[in-house]
């Protein structure tokens, strides 16, 4: 049995495949999983791949942060939360700025940080059953570390709507706002190498693909290169995780009750 939370393989066509491998809890991530993603991304950077596919085992792409892990962090100091949040921010930064093109293949739910991983990728192909959401405000938190990539992906107006409402939305809405590019049948994701977009990328010049990606980054994403981005967003979520509202929100979720800020009429 493979105990790795993240798998790394390279196909015969030199496609790197990073697979989230915690299906028993819907690929929710914790410190260990974040560290493994960083490790695997570093592995792929050192090997000759044409592009990187990110997928997930099980019914869901990722439910976001592991709530047990979040509950543990809520009881720790702001400094401990800051160090923890910085690792998540580093992982997203490394993924977004990965030299080769990245393709997210999404099935089931991609929520919170899971949706953040999707937004950090270059191309998103989602199955008909996929759904997305930035649900942090429901538990008194905010999608701080993922926000630069979400806003870059769907724009400020839609980001405000979904951050504030915490509504979960389906794949048709994701296509409408630009979060995903293509919708396919669930079974098509299993044989991703047959998808037209994947096949087309294998036909394009590998060096040109890297330069085309960098062209977009250099012209359209100046704010994402701000060196203050990681400490700023990590500090924001660290403060909220350790706050009374953050602790109450996570506790209420774990205890399956309403948080104390909901007024009962």
Q: What are the boundaries of each domain within the chain?
A: 6-225
Question: pLDDT confidence of 244, banded at 50, 70, 90?
Answer: confident
**Which of 51-65, 79-93, 111-125 is the least confident region?**
79-93
Instruction: Give the pLDDT score at 16.
Output: 97
- Cβ 259 vs Cβ 140: under 8 Å: yes
pLDDT at 85 over 90: no
Distance of alpha carbon 88 from the chain centroid: 10
Residue 81 has pLDDT above 90, yes or no: no
Looking up tokens 């997203």, which residue turns up?
92
Does residue 101 carry a pLDDT above 80? yes
Q: Residue 131: pLDDT band by 50, 70, 90 thresholds?
A: very high
Locate 120 and state its tokens: 């950090």
CA distance 5 to 237: 24
- Name which of 100-114, 201-215, 234-248 the model is least confident about: 234-248
As a whole number of angstroms, the distance between CA 49 and CA 43 comes to 11
More confident residue, 85 or 221: 85
Q: Is the pLDDT of residue 265 over 60?
A: no
In the chain, which ranges are continuous DSSP H helix? 31-45, 67-74, 78-96, 113-119, 147-154, 156-165, 171-177, 186-190, 196-203, 206-220, 229-241, 244-254
User: Is 108 in a helix, a strand, or coil?
Assistant: coil
Residues in the chain: 265
pLDDT above 80 (res 225) = no
- 91: burial class by Cβ within 10 Å (0-12, 13-18, 19+)? buried
- Give the C-alpha separation, 238 to 76, whole Å: 10
Put simply, whether the predicted model's pTM sits higher than 0.95 gets the answer no
Beta strand 182-184 with 123-127 is parallel
**Judging by DSSP bridges, how do beta strands 168-170 and 6-10 pair with one another?**
unpaired
- The percentage of the chain sitting over the pLDDT mark of 70, rounded to a whole number, equals 97
Q: What's the pLDDT score for residue 240?
A: 79
Mean pLDDT, residues 170-187 taken together: 97
CATH number of 6-225: 3.90.226.10
């Amino acid at each position: 049995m493979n105990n790795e939370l993240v798998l790394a393989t390279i196909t015969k066509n030199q496609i790197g495949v990073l697979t989230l491998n915690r299906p028993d809890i819907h690929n929710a991530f914790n410190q260990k999983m974040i560290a493994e993603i960083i490790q695997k991304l570093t592995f792929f950077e050192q090997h000759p791949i044409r592009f990187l596919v990110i997928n997930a085992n099980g019914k869901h792409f990722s439910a976001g942060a592991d709530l047990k892990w979040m509950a543990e962090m809520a009881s720790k100091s702001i400094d401990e939360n800051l160090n923890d949040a910085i690792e998540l921010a580093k992982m997203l930064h490394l993924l977004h700025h990965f030299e080769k093109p990245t393709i997210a293949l999404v099935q089931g739910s991609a929520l919170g940080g899971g949706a953040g991983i999707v937004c950090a990728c270059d191309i998103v192909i989602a199955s008909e059953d996929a759904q997305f959401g930035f649900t942090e405000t429901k538990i008194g938190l905010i999608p701080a570390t993922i926000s630069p990539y979400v806003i870059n992906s769907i724009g400020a107006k839609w980001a405000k709507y979904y951050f504030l409402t915490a509504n979960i939305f389906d794949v048709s809405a994701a296509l409408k706002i630009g979060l995903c590019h293509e919708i396919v049948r669930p079974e098509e994701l299993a044989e991703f190498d047959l998808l037209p977009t994947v096949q087309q990328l294998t036909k394009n010049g590998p060096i040109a693909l890297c330069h085309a990606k960098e062209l977009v980054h250099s012209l359209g994403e100046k704010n994402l290169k701000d060196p203050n981005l990681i400490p700023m967003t990590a500090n924001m979520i660290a403060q909220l995780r350790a706050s009374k509202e953050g602790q109450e929100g996570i506790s209420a979720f774990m205890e399956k009750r309403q948080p104390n800020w909901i007024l009962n009429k």
